[in-house]
Amino acid sequence: MSPCNFVRQNTIMVLRFFLAFFINSTSHNINHCSRLPLTIPTFPNFSTSDIESPLNSLNIAGHFDFNNIHTAASDFGNRFHFLPAGVLYPKTVSDVSSTIKHVFNMGPTSELTIAARGHGHSLRGQAQAPGGIVICMESLQESKMHVHTGAIPYIDVSGGVLWITILHETLKFGFAPKSWTDYLHLSVGGTLSNAGISGQAFRHGPQINNVYQLEVVTGTGDVVICSEKQNADLFYGVLGGLGQFGIITRARISLEPASKMVKWIRVLYSDFYSFTNDQERLISMENTFDYIEGFVIINRTGLVNNWRSSFKPKDPLQASQFISDGKTLFCLEMAKYFNPEDADIMNKKTDLLLSKLGYIQHTLFLSEVSYVEFLDRVHLSEIKLREKGLWDVPHPWLNLLVPRSSIYDFAAEVFGNILTDNSNGPILLYPVNQSRWNYKTSMITPEEDVFYLVAFLSSALPSSTGSDGLEHMLTRNRRILDFCLQAHLGVKQYLPHYGTREEWQAHFGPKWEVFARRKLAYDPLAILAPGQKIFQKANTIL
């Protein structure tokens, strides 16, 4: 062993000892009534040259930028803006590895942290690195996408590639990924670090359940290939691991044959029980729709008429007389994939499924669109909002996973008392099957066979102090979270954010010890993903 490697290995051992001591101490000395915020460490000031010169001397194919750094301090949430010291634009995985190794070798006294940034769709600065280094994953150019069309089809992609790009590439071969998010202009590494949930999750599970292999650069700079059979601990840890154990630089994603068309359906309910009962019936069936979601509509004027631009009502006359003003309604949204030559068979199957549902009969709306148009549907809304200057506004989103046993109590309070008017954005609400989720990953879900994703996807007007303003929405979110906690509903946050260590431990529950052990093993200096605010930089431990 070389002297350099000997020193490095001993450094890791020492750091792991201190981190283990710190984690063990905090887990046994927690005041569970405390509401104190997580302490953010302060670091001594270093000159710019102390950071820039060593980084510029690294032998990398890409480059660092220490001037144009403001984009790396912004995200979709548009609420938190922390400037990094610099941005790395890597061309190779080796660039990522070399940078992390450099920061790791600086030791625990360095203030530098590292965050991987995909397409910048984080909500609360999770992909930011205050005073540290942001790695622009979209600039990775080392290898192209490769589609394998054998008995077990898959695609190999870079961690910075967007899902919309994967869709277009795989369709050239007649295939597509099985599980999606509603918005496709997100990076592979970003969604796999969380979960990746959409209307296909009831059948295929989230995106993290549809990955065969990963290439990961750990917090020590090691490049590791991992899968269920190779380095499985890291594989499962990284999936849903909030970026805490490594940066995903490559992924092998499961594919299935892709259809060309989609039958897109919406129906309305006025009764929450009927709405959820039909949703649960559909996701439990073997022969059902390919996509099942739902959303809550509160006091929406002209709702049905607004749908006419994309959907055709089955009963135009009755639909035109439907009044949505002043009502809380529940929309069940479904889709059936098909090829044109199979349209008749698909329509018969769809009619049979619809005949078993208890929706308001004259609120049946139908549309037939291409497979791409359906999957990329949210992007059309993005274009319209950008044209109106309403995309780059604060997004105080709240995403929750609610156990089936608690969904009625949750709905009664939230939709009956807390949220009684338009929420300035969609409210998603639909069930998924626990059996389709892999418990070995870092992703945390309620411990019931069926649970619901409930997502409040609000957009705030920056200058408003009314119900469409940021403070009003944040207050509403706090009321919802406080109710869930006080009523012991067993709710878990999706895309979680907490302010204290005890809240993070409560979130992970029995999985906290495994999560902390993996941090100790793969990122002992707590260099990676500081924006999640789960672990502090290791120099505060020593």
Q: Which of the residues are catalytic?
A: 121, 182, 293
**First vs last Cα of the chain: how many Å apart?**
27
Of the candidates 468, 505, 503, 499, the one whose C-alpha atom is nearest the C-alpha of residue 484 is: 503
d(CA 143, CA 135): 17
H helical segments located in 245-322: 272-284, 303-307, 316-320
d(CA 239, CA 245): 10
d(CA 390, CA 393): 6
3-class DSSP string for 60-85? CCCEEECCCCCHHHCCCCCCCCCCCC
H helical segments located in 57-198: 93-105, 163-171, 188-192
Structure tokens that stand for 130 in this block: 């205050």
Residues pairing with 368 in the sheet: 263
d(CA 379, CA 402): 27
d(CA 386, CA 389): 5
Q: Which residue has the tokens 């698909």?
A: 346
d(CA 338, CA 344): 10
3-class DSSP string for 338-368? ECHHHHHHHHHHHHHHHCCCCCCHHHCEEEE
Contacts of 234 (CB under 8 A, 6+ apart): 216, 218, 224, 226, 245, 246, 518, 522
